[in-house]
Amino acid sequence: MTAETEPSHPVTGLDDVVHQRVRLGILTIAHEARRVEFGYLRGQLQLTAGNLSQHLGVLETAGLIDVEKGYEGKRGRTWITLTAAGRTALAEEIARLKLLIARVETTDG
């Protein structure tokens, strides 16, 4: 195969915004929970509040999550939900990772 006819390697389709470890974790947990509270994410991902806030900002700017601030009783709360674009981006990232795993598994042994 020549470079012109060879399909691109699956790694070229990975999204740097999504693929970063913490952000992939945020998207995955938000997908599982449908709506997740900031403190829960912070605990699950073992992050400082500032670090988590920075990653949430990147994802929100990219349109992958919605951040909702409100109150539960008298305590301020922040909830995170995936947008439709976030669900699509996560699904595409997982599909690319599966392609990479398949390549490794077929060349093992």
Domains of the chain: 13-95 (1.10.10.10)
Nearest in space to 19 (alpha carbons), one of 67, 89, 72, 73: 89
Q: Mean pLDDT in the chain?
A: 91
What is the reported pTM?
0.85
End-to-end CA distance of the chain: 24
**pLDDT at residue 30 tops 80:** yes
Q: For residues 74 and 91, what is the distance between their CA atoms, to the nearest angstrom? A: 37
Residue 109: what pLDDT? 58
